[in-house]
Amino acid sequence: MQPSVDPTINTLQAHILSQEHDNPRSNETLSWILSALSISAKAIAAQIRRARLIDVLGNVGNANVQGEQQQKLDVLANEIMLRTLGRRDDVAIVASEENENPVFLRDGVDGKRRFCVLFDPLDGSSNLDVCGGVGTIFSIVRHDRRANDPIESVLQAGSRQVAAGYILYGPSTVFTLTLGRGVQMFVLDPSIGAFLRVEEDLQMPDAHKHYSLNEGNRLSFPDGYQNYLHWAQEQTYSSRYAGAMVADIHRILLKGGVFLYPPTAKAPKGKLRLLYEANPMGMIVEQAGGLAMAARDQRILDIEPTQVHQRTPVIMGSTKEVETVLSFL
């Protein structure tokens, strides 16, 4: 009996190339950047799989610009991203959560369209020591050549993103991408070294009785969030929290629910970074049919950033679940 061949199999590379013709937001230069990100994903995934064997777990003994202890793999993932993106002529500026300031690489004086790539190289890196899920988050915006310095060029509202995505490193390596016309999901097949599409134009369920947040901070949440949690538990909601935004949002994209990171006594403006985490994840969630809010009347993608490492509260996920949370605020 001859094995059947699935004619719908599509790779990430093929999808990227098809967007050059079908999607006005995409072009050849953007495709080269997405290709660099897929190479970074494979390289980081390989390092994570061997992390304990090659002694790249634990702290390096330094704090990043956020005042957080850097993990060895934080630094390694950051270097991989900077090297792969730095070799692409189409990248004007790179900005990482791990670096104090954006890095200016080149301008667009030769007439080429340039882009800025912003990223969190390893979200949830504290999970590494216990073999938990971690991820990479990225955002792509057009470089503004009129800006006086690189910082001005990256300070753009999330609504101006050209593309956004994340890579989840777990039992499989998942690359999720939006170019502003739906969400596509790919899984790395290590036997052939390619990302294969597993979800096309993904739409999340509009409701699911599941919330994701760090309840260890509950007593310092504003009253509205505490009231919501009290109500949700009365309604038999389940709690799911992986300790990595990528892993939590990935579950919600597939199953539905709501992800929360409220203001706390220690982080009154929220903990998650607007440019590196909230904006790209917000774009993905909205493109999958959900909502991404910072407050009752504040859409995340409408926030005009004033600082590179600006933080924000986050409420995102299934439309009905987000609306329920907002009703308590």
Residue 204, in any domain of the structure: no
Indicate if 263 and 301 belong to the same structural domain.
yes
Among candidate residues 169, 167, 203, the one with its CA nearest the CA of residue 12: 167
Among candidate residues 134, 126, 139, 197, the one with its CA nearest the CA of residue 168: 134
The whole-angstrom separation of Cα 96 and Cα 87 is 16
DSSP tally for the chain: helices H, then strands E: 8, 18
71 vs 62, residue with greater confidence:
71
Question: Which range (114-128, 164-178, 196-210) has the least confidence?
Answer: 114-128
Answer yes or no: pTM beyond 0.75.
Answer: yes
Backbone torsion region of residue 243, taken as left when φ is above 0, otherwise alpha when ψ lies between -120 and 50, otherwise beta = left
Indicate if 194 and 241 belong to the same structural domain.
no
Among candidate residues 206, 197, 233, the one with its CA nearest the CA of residue 328: 233
**pLDDT tens figures, 281-318:** 999 999 999 999 999 999 999 999 999 999 999 999 99
**pLDDT tens figures, 213-226:** 999 999 999 999 99
Indicate if 296 and 182 belong to the same structural domain.
no
Indicate if 31 and 174 belong to the same structural domain.
yes
The whole-angstrom separation of Cα 25 and Cα 161 is 10
Question: Which range (53-67, 78-92, 131-145, 148-162) has the least confidence?
Answer: 53-67
The whole-angstrom separation of Cα 43 and Cα 81 is 9
Residue at which a domain ends, from 199, 225, 251: 199
CATH number for the domain that contains residue 255: 3.40.190.80
Indicate if 88 and 107 belong to the same structural domain.
yes
Indicate if 153 and 252 belong to the same structural domain.
no
Question: Which range (104-113, 146-155, 158-167, 276-285) has the least confidence?
Answer: 104-113
Residue 7, in any domain of the structure: no
Q: How far is CA 24 from CA 37, 117, 159, 282, 324, in A?
A: 20, 19, 16, 21, 35
- Chain centroid offset of residue 82 CA: 17
Q: Which domain holds residue 185?
A: 12-199
Residue-by-residue DSSP string for 156-182 = --GGG-SEEEEEEESSSEEEEEESSS-
- Domain count across the chain: 2
Residue at which a domain ends, from 145, 168, 199: 199
Residue at which a domain ends, from 199, 226, 244: 199
